[in-house]
Chains A and B, each alone.
Chain A
Amino acid sequence: MLIKLSGGTVYDPVHGINGEQRDIYIRDGQITRRPAATVDIDKTYDLKGKVIMAGAIDMHTHIGGGKVNIARMMLPEDHRQDLVSRTPLTRSGCGHAAPSTLTAGYRYVEMGYTACFEPAMLPANARQAHMEMADTPIVDKGAYAMLGSDDFFLRMLAAKKDQEAIADYVGWIINATQALAIKVVNPGGISAFKFNQRKLDLDEKNEYYGTTPRDIIKCLAQAVNELGVPHPLHVHGCNLGVPGNVQTTLDTINSVEGLPLHLTHTQFHSYGTEGDRQFSSGAAEIAEAVNANPNISIDVGQVLFGQTVTASGDTMRQYAGHWHAHPKKWVLMDIECDAGCGVVPFKYRDKNFVNALQWAIGLELFLLVNDPWRIFLTTDHPNGAPFTSYPHLIRLLMDRSFRNDMLSTINKDAAASSVLGSIDREYSLYDIAIMTRAAPARSLGLKNRGHLGSGSIADITVYNNVKNREKMFEKPLYVFKDGELVAKNGKIVKVTTGGTHVLKPEYDKSIERSLKSYFDKYQTIKLGNFKIDDDEIVEHGNGHIIVQPCT
Chain B
Amino acid sequence: MKTKQSLAKVQKDVPCPFCSIHCDDLVIQNQSGKLKVKENGCPISVERFERPLAQSTPTINGKTATLDEAISQAAGIFKKSVEPLIAGLGTDVGGMRSVMELADKTGSIIDHMHHDGAARNMLVLQDLGWVMTTMGEIRNRAELIIFAGTDASNYPRFYERVVWNEQSMFNYDTAKRDIVYIGENLDTSRGKSPTGKKPTHLKCPQDEIGEVISVLHALVGGNKTQKKDEIAGIKMAHLEKLAEQMKNTRYGVIVWAPGELDFPHAELTIQNFCEITKYLNRETRFAGFFLGGNDGGMSANNVSAWQSGFPLRVNFSKGYPEHDLQKYATANVLKNKEADALLWISSFNPEIKPPHAKIPTIVLATADTKLDFKPDVFIPVSTPGVDHSGQMIRTDSVVSLPLKQLRNSDNPSVKEVVRRIAELV
What is A's interface to B at a CB cutoff of 8 Å? Answer: 64, 66, 68-70, 72-76, 79-80, 83-86, 91-95, 98-103, 122, 124-125, 127-128, 131-132, 135, 151, 193-196, 208, 319, 325, 328-338, 343, 521-526, 528-529, 532-533, 536, 539-540
Contacts and interface: CB of A to CB of B under 8 A. Distances in A.
A132 B104 contact: no
A100 B136 contact: no
Contacts of B268: none
A335 B307 contact: no
Contacts of B281: 319, 332
B125 A94 contact: no
A330 B320 contact: no
B305 to A, nearest CB: 4
A86 B250 contact: no
Interface stretch (B57-65, B186-194, B397-405): B397-405
A262 to B, nearest CB: 26
A325 B129 CA distance: 11
Contacts of A194: 137, 141, 251, 285
A335 to B, nearest CB: 5
Q: Which interface residue of B101, B251, B306 has the most chain A CB atoms within 10 A?
A: B306
Contacts of A94: 308-310, 320-321
Contacts of B170: 208
Given A73-B311, A333-B133, A93 B169 contact: no
B366 interface: no
A540 B94 contact: yes
Contacts of B105: 86
Nearest to B302: A69
A334 B391 contact: no
B168 A100 contact: no
A403 B320 CA distance: 36
Interface residues of B, number: 65
Given A194-B141, A329-B126, A536 B391 contact: yes
Contacts of A338: 136
Given A337-B136, A524-B399, A536-B402, A101 B306 contact: yes
Interface in B307-337: 307-311, 316, 318-323
In order of increasing CB-CB distance, the 7 nearest A-B pairs are: A94-B309, A100-B309, A336-B136, A329-B129, A83-B320, A85-B319, A521-B167
19 contacts: A68-B306, A69-B306, A72-B310, A92-B104, A92-B308, A94-B309, A131-B93, A131-B391, A194-B137, A332-B132, A332-B281, A333-B134, A334-B133, A335-B133, A337-B169, A338-B136, A521-B167, A524-B161, A529-B13
A73 B308 contact: no
A529 B385 CA distance: 13
Contacts of A103: 309
B306 A135 contact: yes
B136 A522 contact: yes
Contact of A526 (B13, B320, B391): B13
A519 B252 CA distance: 23
Q: Determine the main DSSP class of B at the interface with A.
A: mixed
Contacts of A93: 307-309, 320-321
Q: Determine the main DSSP class of A at the interface with B.
A: mixed
B399 A125 contact: yes
B45 to A, nearest CB: 15
A338 B139 CA distance: 13
Contacts of A523: 136
B67 interface: no
Contact of A335 (B131, B398, B402): B398
A232 B183 CA distance: 53
A343 B125 CA distance: 11
Nearest to B301: A73
Given A332-B131, A524-B135, A101 B104 contact: no
A94 B25 CA distance: 39
B393 interface: yes
Contact of B402 (A91, A193, A521, A533): A533
A222 B299 CA distance: 38
Contact of A100 (B129, B251, B302, B306): B306
Contact of B307 (A85, A125, A128, A135): A135
A125 B316 contact: no
B383 to A, nearest CB: 17
Nearest to B121: A73
Contact of A331 (B25, B129, B140, B318): B129
